[in-house]
Amino acid sequence: MALRGNLVVGQSGGPTAVINNSLVGIIHEAMQHAEIDGIYGMMHGITGIINEQLIDLRRESAATLEGLRNTPASALGTIRYKVSEKDYERIVEVLSAYNIRTFCYIGGNDSADTTHKVAQAAERAGYELCAIAVPKTVDNDLAVTDHCPGYGSAARFVATAIRATGFDTRSMGESGPIKLMEIMGRNAGWLAASAVLAREEPDDPPHLIYVPERRVSISQIVADVKACLDRHGYCVAALSEGLVDENGDPLGAAGREEVKDAFGHVRKGGVVETIEAAIQSDLKMTARYDKPNYLQRSMAELMSPVDREEAYEVGRAAVRAAVAGQNDVMITLVREPGPEYRCGTGIAPLHQVANVEHMLPPEYTNDAGNGVTAAFVEYARPLIGGPLAPYARLALHPVPKRQA
C-alpha cells in the first residue's frame, strides 16, 4: 500500500560516472505518482537529513536533469559517515517533521547497511516508511544483484586505459618494456579483471591480471613478468589495489601507514610500488606504473551506454517499489538467460545485502592465478556497452637487407 507523503533521496560513498542517472530516474519516476508530494535531496548523504540540509528537486529544470544524465560524480554531494544510534533517532525525527515516507539511498555496501538501519529505526518508532537502497559501486561487490551500476563504465575506462598504455609500452622497445597499472576495487577483483576486455588479439596486453581473490607472492609476480618479457619482449600487468600475498596480508602494506575510513575500511594502495621495487631488485630492470585512481570512476566521456540506462532504471524501480509498499529492500539487476544480453530489475531484502561482499568467483580466474577466464569475459563484455574503438596496426613488411 502506498504511503502519501514526501520522498527524499541521497547519494553516498564513492561516486561513479553514472550515479546521477539513478538520481534522475528517481526524480522522473516520483513525478509520475500522485502519492508523492515533495521530492527532496539530502546534501552530502545521510548528514543532509541529520543537519536538515534538504533541497527541492521538483524545482530543477528538465534541461538540468537531462544534463545530469551525462555528468559524473554525486550531484547532491557524497559522504562516508558512520551513523550512530543517536543519529538514527534524529533521522526518524526529521523524516517525521517533513512527512517523508519514501527514503531512497544510492550507494554501496555501507549505504545498504545505513538504509537497512533507517528502516529498522523507523519501525521501532512506529513511523511508516518505505526505505529503498539503490545500488552503485565501481567495485561491483554488492550481493544478490548480477552487477552494480557504475561498474560497466569503470570497466570501460580500465579496458581503454590499459589498452592505450599497452600500445605505448610496446612501442618503447628497450627503454620501457614493463608497465604496471594499479586498479581500484577494494577487496574484490571485478574491476581489475575487466582489464582483459582490452584484448583484441590473444597476445595483446594486459598479459597478466592479479585479483585479491587469488593470493600471490611477490616472487611469483616477478617470475611471471620475466616469463612475459621472454615471450613478448614487453609486459603489461593489471594489479588490483587489494592484492594479498601468500599469507593473506595486503601486498602493498609494507612501509605504509594504515589509514581507515569512517567505516573501518583500510585505504588500499601501494601495490605497484611494491612490485616495481621487486622488479628493480630481482630483474635489474625499471618498471613504469600508472595509478588512475578516481579517474576510473569519474570519466563520463567513457560512460557505458548500458551502464547509463541501467543506473537510470534502478532509480525508477526504487520509486515503484516504494509506491508498492516495499520497505527495507534494495533494487537489483537481474540478467535474463540467453545468448543476447538483457537485464531487468528485481528486489532483495537488505539483510541479504548489507555488509556482504560479493567476490569474484573461482571460475572467473585462471589456474595460474595471473589472469581471468573466458567465462568472465562473457559476463563482463556486455556491461561496457560495445567494443572499444579499433586501433590500427602496421603490417611491418620488412625491406630486404643489403650488404654495403
CATH number of 151-300+359-384: 3.40.50.460
How far CA 395 is from CA of 32, 163, 200, in Å, comes to 57, 19, 16
| Sign of the dihedral through C-alpha 306, 307, 311, 314 | positive
Secondary structure (DSSP) of 197-248: GG-SSTTPSP-EEE-TTS---HHHHHHHHHHHHHHHSSEEEEEETT-B-TTS
Instruction: Say what the alpha-carbon torsion angle 160, 150, 111, 267 is, to the nearest 10 degrees.
Output: 0
**Taking residues 320-327, what's their average pLDDT?**
98
166 has pLDDT over 50: yes
Contact 139, 212 (CB under 8 A): no
What is the Cα 144 distance to its own chain's centre?
15
The lowest-confidence range among 124-138, 215-229, 241-255, 303-317 is 241-255
Give me the phi and psi of 184, to 5 degrees please: -65, 175
**Taking residues 103-113, what's their average pLDDT?**
96
Mean pLDDT of the chain: 94
| Helical residues (DSSP H) of 31-103, grouped into ranges | 47-50, 62-68, 85-97
Domain with CATH 3.40.50.460 in the chain: 151-300+359-384
pLDDT tens digits for range 282-322? 999 999 999 999 999 999 999 999 999 999 999 999 999 99
Domain with CATH 3.40.50.450 in the chain: 5-137+302-352
How far CA 104 is from CA of 26, 94, 279, in Å, comes to 8, 15, 48
Contact 385, 305 (CB under 8 A): yes
Q: Which three three-digit cell numbers place residue 210?
A: 592479479
Q: Is 266 left (phi over 0), alpha (psi -120 to 50) or beta?
A: beta
pLDDT of residue 176: 65
Contact 162, 181 (CB under 8 A): yes
- Bridge-partner residues for 236, per DSSP? 179
Binned at pLDDT 50, 70 and 90, residue 255 comes out as very low
80 contact partners, CB below 8 Å, separation of at least 6: 12, 13, 110, 261, 262, 263
Coil vs helix vs strand at 120: helix
**What topology is assigned to 5-137+302-352 in CATH?**
Rossmann fold (3.40.50)
Catalytic residues: 139
Q: Which three three-digit cell numbers place residue 7?
A: 520522498
Binned at pLDDT 50, 70 and 90, residue 134 comes out as very high
327 has pLDDT over 70: yes
Q: Cβ of 231: how many Cβ atoms within 10 Å?
A: 11
pLDDT of residue 257: 54
Q: Is 348 left (phi over 0), alpha (psi -120 to 50) or beta?
A: beta
pLDDT of residue 403: 81
Residue holding cell 585479491? 212
pLDDT tens digits for range 362-381? 999 999 999 999 999 999 99
Contact 157, 183 (CB under 8 A): no
pLDDT tens digits for range 175-205? 669 999 999 999 999 999 999 999 999 999 9
pLDDT of residue 292: 96
How far CA 189 is from CA of 196, 282, 336, in Å, comes to 12, 27, 24
How far CA 376 is from CA of 345, 360, 373, in Å, comes to 22, 9, 5
pTM: predicted TM-score of the whole model, two decimal places: 0.94
262 has pLDDT over 60: no
